[in-house]
Amino acid sequence: MKNRPIGYRKALSRIAAAFMLVCFVLTALPMFAAAAEPEFKTFSELSGKTIAAITGSPFEDLIREHIPDVKEVQFYPSSPDMTLALLDGKIDAYFMNNAVGELIANKNEGIEVFPQSLGDSDFGIAFAKNSPERAKWQAAYETIPQDTRQALWKKWTGADDSIKTLPPQDWEGANGTIKAAVCDTLEPMSYVGKDGELIGFDEEMILLIAKQLDVKVEFTGMEFGAMMPEVQSGKALIAAGSIVVTDEREEVVDFLRYAPASYILLVRSAGGTGNSEGFFAGLSASFKRTFITDGRWKLLLSGLGVTLITAVCSGALGTLIGFGLVNLRRKNNIIGNKFIEGYGGLFAGLPVVVVLMVLYYVIFAAANIPAMIVAIIGFALIFGSRSYNVIQNALSAVDSGQREAALALGYTEGKAFREVVLPQAANVYLPLLRAQFIMLLKETSIAGYITVVDLTRAGDLIRSRTMEAFFPLVVVALLYFILTKVMSKLLGLIDKSRDKQRRERRIKGVD
């Protein structure tokens, strides 16, 4: 073995020393950091800056009232997304209520509460407009002692997470069960706790009132912007989750006001802050918070199962729809052809998310159908349109002489199609259907828009607790990658076993 040059060894030593120095600086630098202060302290300093608010919140006018020359007001689906955007410099501040905002600032280095308030209001539980139930709930709420309400607020806004659990619903529930739509990403008001349980100040307040009314409560978690449509469509009796009462919201729903609220802005710390943990220690702690704490890996596993079931069921049902349309087309009647043309044009011209939301909030609004079933129906209708086009085009590629030869041999029209034309077309449409199914598998990531907790939504829920993007997003992406590769390989094996032309041939009696 040849001896390496002395210069090579010196270079390695210098690189190692430089690496150790960088690690030391990353670990020790925060010790000398000064006390954090907000980057902006007055509304005038936010002139020309970008402010964010949560999707579904009607506060753009309030923001512009205090900051008339704001550069832009952007909307994000959740507080974790706004937190990450703020830390990454994509926005300069974001709008939030005091309960959620102060907790975010306490839990995240580099984020501070803006010193000036934007106004006061109340937190509210939403009911459909003119619902007679609101008066009943209001009367029950008034019977809860003020000391109990204050103790509840202190419990959920405090730092002791060990006491943040919901009481069991141990009352009889003689007056039935009601459905409550709650936001699942706004800690401490309403969020996902241990093992995927929906907890928070709002949930416990609802349970206190429900106990007075002797009704059971079924909570359904969703994004903030989806709560009001749930109540307006009648899918839920009430909506809660850090909802601040405004005049605009009171035009479409009625509120039970249950706690004071104020409007605040969150901004970056002046000069930024370093990570108080060492690089590798911080990475390890982030991994633990993302997957180990409260058994959050179970949430990802559950979401993975929901994604797989949704994709497989909608793919199978959509394929049946595609073959049904092919058979309808073979009858060649005017009504059938017009139906196929309209069906294909409709689903080709609509975004997938719009299809899901129309089905969930409009067509099936009054039906008590689980969101996952609605998602399967929606994706199946979309996949049915695509599979029809694929199969029909493959059938058109088969030489018409094949059908004519089969008929000349005495085959019926149906038998000629099933045993001669369709098997030949299968060699063309099966690989294309496999590619379409993989695309469908990835498209199911938007099922969270109609409250389905799939893989993507599970990652969002974890981010809402950790306020960290790296591990949740990377692992969700990795799981999708593995899932698509496995499903593609499995479908390829099924296709290979079906195709007799690819099977190994043996001559009887010959090794």
| Structure confidence by residue, pLDDT tens digits, 109-123 | 889 999 998 999 999
Ranges of H-type helices in 351-507: 352-358, 371-396, 400-408, 413-416, 422-443, 455-466, 470-498
**If residue 6 lies in a helix (H) or strand (E), which one and from where to where?**
helix 6-28
Question: 50: pLDDT confidence band, cut at 50, 70 and 90?
Answer: very high
Higher pLDDT, 265 or 427: 265
pLDDT in the model for residue 12: 44
pLDDT at 25 over 60: no
Higher pLDDT, 80 or 243: 243
* CA angle 409–414–417, rounded 5-degree value: 75
β-bridge partners, 177: 216
pLDDT in the model for residue 449: 83
Whole-angstrom distance, CA of residue 356 vs CA of residue 378? 6
β-bridge partners, 183: 222
Spans of all domains in the chain: 1-26, 43-117, 120-270, 297-501
Question: 361: pLDDT confidence band, cut at 50, 70 and 90?
Answer: confident
CATH of domain 120-270: 3.40.190.10
3-17, 111-125, 490-504: range with lowest mean pLDDT: 3-17
β-bridge partners, 260: 122
43-47, 285-289, 319-323, 503-507: range with lowest mean pLDDT: 503-507
pLDDT in the model for residue 26: 40
Q: Please tell me if the domain spanning 120-270 has the same topology as the one spanning 297-501.
A: no
390 by Cβ neighbours in 10 Å (0-12 / 13-18 / 19+) ranks as buried
Residue 193 is encoded by which pair of tokens? 């706790």
Question: Which tens digit of pLDDT belongs to each residue from 290-328?
Answer: 788 778 888 889 999 999 999 999 999 999 999 999 999
pLDDT at 163 over 50: yes
Whole-angstrom distance, CA of residue 476 vs CA of residue 473? 5
Whole-angstrom distance, CA of residue 204 vs CA of residue 189? 9
pLDDT in the model for residue 29: 42
Distance, first Cα to last Cα, the chain: 51
pLDDT at 6 over 60: no
143-147, 344-348, 396-400: range with lowest mean pLDDT: 396-400
Q: How many CB atoms lie within 10 A of CB 125?
A: 28
Ranges of H-type helices in 158-268: 201-213, 227-232, 247-250
43-117 to CATH, choices 3.40.50.12160, 3.40.190.10, 3.20.20.80, 3.90.226.10 = 3.40.190.10
Domain 297-501 matching CATH 1.10.10.1100: the answer reads: no
pLDDT in the model for residue 473: 86
Residue 121 is encoded by which pair of tokens? 């209001």
Residue 254 is encoded by which pair of tokens? 């009625």
β-bridge partners, 433: none
pLDDT in the model for residue 199: 94
Rounded percentage of the chain residues whose pLDDT exceeds 70: 88
Q: How many CB atoms lie within 10 A of CB 278?
A: 16
